[in-house]
Amino acid sequence: MITTNFNPSVLTTQRNLNIATNSLNTALERMSTGYKVNCAADDAAGMFVASNLNANIRGLKQAQKNAQDGISLLNTAEGALSNMTDILNRLRDLAVQGANGFYSDSSRQAMQDESDALIDQLWQLKDSTKFNGRDIFTGSPPTLNGSSSAQGTGSGGFVNRITEEEAIQQGYTILKTAQDLENIRNNLSGKYILMGDIDMTSVSNWDPIGDDTTMFTGELNGNGFVIRNLKIHNKTDKYVGLFATSQGTIQNLGLVNVNVTGYGYEKDAQNGAGGLVGINGGTITNCFVNGNISMKGIEQQQPDYDNDKNNWGITGYVGGLVGMNAGGTISACYVNTKVTAEGTNKYLGGIAGLNGLGTIENVYSDGSVSSSFNSGGIVGFNYVAGILVDSYSVARVNDGGGLAGVNSEGQINNCFWDIQKTGQKEGCLGNDASAITQITGLSTNQMRNPQHFINAGWDENIWDFSTAPPTLKNMPEPQKLVNSIRLQIGSDSSENSAIFIDTAFSLDEFFVDCFSQDACAEAIEDIDGMLEQINTKRAEIGAMINRINSILDSQTTTTQNYTAAKSTIMDADIANESADFVKNQILQQTSSALLAQSQNLHASIVLSLIG
């Protein structure tokens, strides 16, 4: 049928012309942009997947920059630690040199000047090393999670920490600051509890709490926290420590970096210096002390001593935890202290200078005990009815016994000492041998064998035998200073997309006395300990740098794979598109020509029929 209103060949040719034109435009767009998906209509599912891949690729590229920044920070830290190592090595050289006896005072003054300058520079490096304005080595304790039970694992984990709400319900007064500690003086029979570590740096010279007439009789619960940087010096008190005297209960408390010096001014008196208590008649449980405890000689302090020294009658007792344990009980405690004294008639012990009518049980001592008189790894003088049981010492002892300096009518039972570390073959000197039973000197390797302590019947609920030698369970410990720097190394918000760099570390205060050969010899050990701390941190930083380099390699591989996947979805195949372009260009031109012919042909047929 031939009509004037409908020409099917023209419509068919127009449709094909439109298809060819659209395909030609699509090919032109793809070749000009390089993408086969230029809008969601081209491939909705593909556009969705490719958009997610693109976000991940961009995120990974930024994460690579983050990782490189992290490496730069760690390289800065490692460089500073390397310089600190050089300083400590030079200080060690000076200490070794000063321990020699061939130098004049002027030579030693030169050594002292260099030593002081190097120590100042060591601390300046630690406190001033920065990256992009942020301190690298300084840090702060982590924030508590508020849990009433901060569970620990193994030695050093404190359990059953009391919350502030629970403490108030139990009638405690909350302690959070150095001023709060000062306020204990207002009520020596009160009930107190710590709710965080307390830094005593702001108190230049602490006045011990109580005296021999007004003793502390209350309760102090450290709640698993520590008191840092306690300093006592140039005091004329008869007893010195955080508490001068105590007949109360002190528990679950640590003292870190204490520096306590007693002087013993009083004639015809017994004087005590300890990190925690000067003289203890109460109960001390689950506590530890780290730092330096000392007592100066009375002959250096009193101008008339030389004229009347036979009538002074002074005895000094110095201990890492307490100066004198007089009728008190000390249990489940340890010290890592340097205990020293000047002058004569001083008794020194890692835990206590004197233990008389009191009990010391389940304790251990580390560090050093040094005097020109009697000293012991745990007790200087174990006196009448003094009991020392189920304890050990690895503290270096000068002139004394591995466990006690002197035992007189006291009892020492079921204890061990490290012969090599203490440097003492005898557990006690000047002793009443009949009162000492089952004390054993072991080598360092033997001390690492828990079976010795298990066979001795030590309480497994108190001691952790998984460590070598054993340590105390449920012991408070200082919260580790952290400088937690988040490093975003992934492209999403998952926990696997971030790592944390901790560059904070602490150094113990120390001093090299180049005028004393003995002090120089002891400083070598202190410097070796600091070198170990720094080298440990350098090793941690080196391991972290290697980890981040590995992360960079992984990021590069992942970025390549994501880019390839995105390319498969989004990128145009130029060869195929150019072929389509030529084909559709030919079809467009052909359709245009055929459309003209179809219109002319149909018109001529209609007109011929009418004519």
Amino acid at 606: V
pLDDT at 182: 96
d(C-alpha 118, C-alpha 105), whole Å: 20
Q: Are 352 and 318 in contact (CB under 8 A)?
A: no
Q: Whose CA is closest to 251, among 474, 415, 463, 478? A: 474
Across residues 215-237, what is the average pLDDT? Answer: 91
User: For residue 95, what are the contacts with CB-CB under 8 A and spacing of at least 6?
Assistant: 512, 520, 521, 523, 524, 527
> Both tokens of residue 562?
């994501």
Strand partners, 174: 193
Give the chain's mean pLDDT.
84
Across residues 138-147, what is the average pLDDT? Answer: 48
d(C-alpha 273, C-alpha 279), whole Å: 8
pLDDT at 155: 35
Residue 2 has pLDDT above 60, yes or no: no
pLDDT at 23: 74
pLDDT at 9: 65
Across residues 351-367, what is the average pLDDT? Answer: 96
d(C-alpha 201, C-alpha 224), whole Å: 20
What's the chain's length in residues?
611
Across residues 126-132, what is the average pLDDT? Answer: 88
User: For residue 328, what are the contacts with CB-CB under 8 A and spacing of at least 6?
Assistant: 246, 247, 280, 281, 282, 283, 284, 322, 358, 359
pLDDT at 150: 33
Q: Are 376 and 400 in contact (CB under 8 A)?
A: yes
Across residues 408-432, what is the average pLDDT? Answer: 88
User: For residue 133, what are the contacts with CB-CB under 8 A and spacing of at least 6?
Assistant: none
pLDDT at 390: 97
| 154/588: higher pLDDT | 588
Model confidence pTM above 0.85? no
Amino acid at 600: N
| 127/175: higher pLDDT | 175
> Both tokens of residue 432?
């009443």
Across residues 88-111, what is the average pLDDT? Answer: 91
pLDDT at 260: 94
Across residues 134-154, what is the average pLDDT? Answer: 50
Residue 450 has pLDDT above 60, yes or no: yes
Residue 40 has pLDDT above 50, yes or no: yes
| CB-based burial label for 362 (10 Å; 0-12, 13-18, 19+) | buried
- Span between the terminal Cα atoms of the chain, in Å: 18
pLDDT at 141: 52
295-350 pLDDT, tens digit each: 886 554 555 545 544 444 468 899 999 999 999 999 999 999 989 987 777 899 99
Residue 535 has pLDDT above 70, yes or no: yes
Share of the chain above pLDDT 70, in %: 85
Across residues 197-215, what is the average pLDDT? Answer: 91
Confidence category of residue 506, pLDDT binned at 50, 70, 90: confident
pLDDT at 143: 43
**Helix (H) or strand (E) segment spanning residue 522:** helix 517-570
Across residues 405-420, what is the average pLDDT? Answer: 92
pLDDT at 467: 87
Q: Are 252 and 220 in contact (CB under 8 A)?
A: no
Amino acid at 508: D
Across residues 208-222, what is the average pLDDT? Answer: 95
Q: Whose CA is closest to 337, among 351, 317, 353? A: 351
| 194/583: higher pLDDT | 194
Residue 607 has pLDDT above 80, yes or no: no
Across residues 435-442, what is the average pLDDT? Answer: 86
Strand partners, 392: 364, 416
Residue 127 has pLDDT above 70, yes or no: yes
d(C-alpha 540, C-alpha 233), whole Å: 37
pLDDT at 542: 93
pLDDT at 437: 78
d(C-alpha 186, C-alpha 83), whole Å: 49
Confidence category of residue 245, pLDDT binned at 50, 70, 90: very high
Q: Are 481 and 505 in contact (CB under 8 A)?
A: yes
Residue 140 has pLDDT above 90, yes or no: no
pLDDT at 216: 98
> Both tokens of residue 167?
């403490």
Query: Is cis: bond before 470, omega within 30 of 0?
Result: no
Distances (CA, A) of 285 to 32, 254, 390, 474, 540: 81, 11, 15, 11, 35
Across residues 387-413, what is the average pLDDT? Answer: 92
pLDDT at 348: 95
13-25 pLDDT, tens digit each: 777 777 777 777 7
373-394 pLDDT, tens digit each: 689 999 999 998 999 999 999 9
